[in-house]
Structure 1
Amino acid sequence: MIDSGIVYVGHRRLRVARALLDTKTHFRIEKIAKPSVLYKQDSLLILDKPCLMTSEELLRFYPDYQLLNRLDKETSGVILLGLKDDEELQKKTIHAFKKQEVYKEYLAIVNGLINDEMQIDKPILTQKNSKAKSTIHQKGKPALTHITPLEYENKKTLLKVVIKTGRTHQIRAHLASIGYPILGDMQYGGKEAKRIFLHSHKINLFNIQITAQKPSDFKL
């Protein structure tokens, strides 16, 4: 449960299972919401993935399906699945992503005030050991992110983020590279929070546009 990120002491998430705590410590266990169906037709299933659930864990609820894309564990929102026996759908989806024919829009909360729209065009190099980590590196793969500020409050900014490419941790690494890591994204220098405040808001695929509304905890 600690590894799943659902154990709290007071308002702080418990991160290290080996830490010594007072025997009178009171723990709070948060429930992980179940995925909900946003769209289902023929072999295509589009879900609203809850935070703190891995993409692979979705298949426990839908064992006849396979993942067509992935989201990080703490990223909520729109995710695509297809029936296992429909290889044609899988090929079409891979082709659409590769040709940058899929519109992908996210919401993110960062500490600090971003006043203007901007485009982040920096190559990303990803190292995958026990845990993936992406860095801005000239030997990396091209990556393009467009950000638009939507709201400001408490010295934080809610951003609309549109990505053309889909590199590992692209949004997280790009926002950190301009000095505005995502709130809760401690791996990339963000301040500690209840979660990583990144949400897959909209996807447009095969002329199907699907929107996952912000979760109730996604607040400035």
Structure 2
Amino acid sequence: MTRLSAQIPEEMAGMRLDQVLAELFSDYSRSKLQTWLKVGRVVVNGAQLKAKDKVEGGEFIELDAEAEVVLECEAEAIPLDIVYEDESLLIINKPAGLVVHPAVGNWTGTLQNALLNHVPSLETLPRAGIVHRIDKETSGLLMVAKTLPAHNSLVKQLQERSIEREYLAITKGRIIAGATIDEPIGRHPTDRKRYSVRQTGKDAVTHYRVVERFARHSLIRVKLETGRTHQIRVHMAYVHFPLVGDPVYGGRFQLPPDCSEQLEIELRAFKRQALHAEKLGLLHPETQEYCEWIQPLPDDMIRLLAALRDNEQH
């Protein structure tokens, strides 16, 4: 049994308690939360309430969650690039091409399968302890909780937007200056596999600044304030600087004028979005000390940057 806690946001005032539970502890099924509510495992400001009771907002809610097998996912002996590990936290350097969660078309060979092999006890945690994800073809740092208290801590930090996440990306187009993109993102109206800037979407904020400029490309550092699906890819395409190699949002393939033979080779070979989760900073779930990790660029992005720099000299 592990006690999870949260403060009910003011904007939830007037909602039923069971609806609030489903929002705040979404990693558990509604039926499981209802069961825990009925048997007295939920208290609000120290009192037990009924599912239909309305909340005022601002209350302190506590849930005694029970560790149990919550996954239908098989452990697989897939190598992991472990950057850091202790009893409560695991930091992984995910290679491009590795899917994070099993889904239709990818039930095996995922990071989740690999994690269950590395730490079998993760089968009792929501999503095997994975509290955020990066796209299949994005490389870089990803955090995993190894205990329920650590999971609760990391989810809370994500909700409070206090986790530092910085990415390096190579875009099409020469960007003159950095900026902030504050545009909501939702599913594309006609293509359910894509996302787009939509006024009916969820709020999404992306900060970017230029690290290096080339004739027709840019290397940028991106800092996320929110973590929407495909956020960086959608936002950069929205401001007409899509990521190199992005098969969904990058537009049709074009070689820049005055392109060297080596640059042409690298651009043609780059079949994924040029995006790398370089930096991850958080408060350690146990010690509450700030921890930070930096993962250098993978080889394919290093080669592409080298070709871009070399092309500038000719």
Instruction: Give 1 or 2 for the bigger CA radius of gyration.
Output: 2
| Superposition map of 1:1-220 within 5 A | 34-56=79-101, 57-63=110-116, 64=119, 65=122, 66=128, 67-83=130-146, 86-126=147-187, 132-153=193-214, 155-192=216-253, 193-206=270-283, 207-218=290-301, 219-220=304-305
Between 1 and 2, higher relative CO (CA 8 Å, sep ≥ 6) is seen in 1
Tell me the residue number matched to 2:31. Answer: none
Runs of 4+ in 1 over 4 A off after TM superposition: 127-131
Amino acid at match of 2:206: T
Q: Distance in 2 between matches of 1:186 and 1:151?
A: 23
For residues 43-92 of structure 1, give each alpha carbon's deviation from its aligned partner in whole angstroms, at most 9, with x where no partner exists: 21001000011113123332124212111000000011122xx2111111
Give TM-score, length-normalised by structure 1.
0.78
Indicate the larger mover: 186-195 or 126-135: 126-135
Tell me the residue number matched to 1:5. Answer: none
Give TM-score, length-normalised by structure 2.
0.56
Q: Distance in 1 between matches of 2:271 and 2:227?
A: 25
Q: Please report how far the alpha carbon of residue 154 of structure 1 lies from its aligned counterpart in structure 2 after TM superposition.
A: 5.0
Q: Percent of pairs identical after alignment?
A: 32
Q: Distance in 1 between matches of 2:132 and 2:98?
A: 15
Q: Please report how far the alpha carbon of residue 156 of structure 1 lies from its aligned counterpart in structure 2 after TM superposition.
A: 1.1
Q: Distance in 1 between matches of 2:193 and 2:274?
A: 18
More strand as a share of residues:
1
Q: Distance in 1 between matches of 2:178 and 2:245?
A: 22
More helix as a share of residues:
2
RMSD of aligned Cα (Å): 2.1
Q: Distance in 1 between matches of 2:276 and 2:251?
A: 16
Amino acid at match of 1:208: C
Q: 1:165 to 1:62 in 2, by over 3 A?
A: same
Amino acid at match of 1:101: S
Q: 1:143 to 1:41 in 2, by over 3 A?
A: same
Q: Please report how far the alpha carbon of residue 125 of structure 1 lies from its aligned counterpart in structure 2 after TM superposition.
A: 1.1
For residues 108-145 of structure 1, give each alpha carbon's deviation from its aligned partner in whole angstroms, at most 9, with x where no partner exists: 11111001011111111135999632111111111111
Indicate the larger mover: 49-58 or 119-128: 119-128
Q: Distance in 1 between matches of 2:100 and 2:86?
A: 20
Q: 1:131 to 1:34 in 2, by over 3 A?
A: farther
Q: Please report how far the alpha carbon of residue 153 of structure 1 lies from its aligned counterpart in structure 2 after TM superposition.
A: 3.0
Check the 8 A contact 1:126/1:168 in 2, yes or no: no
Aligned length: 186
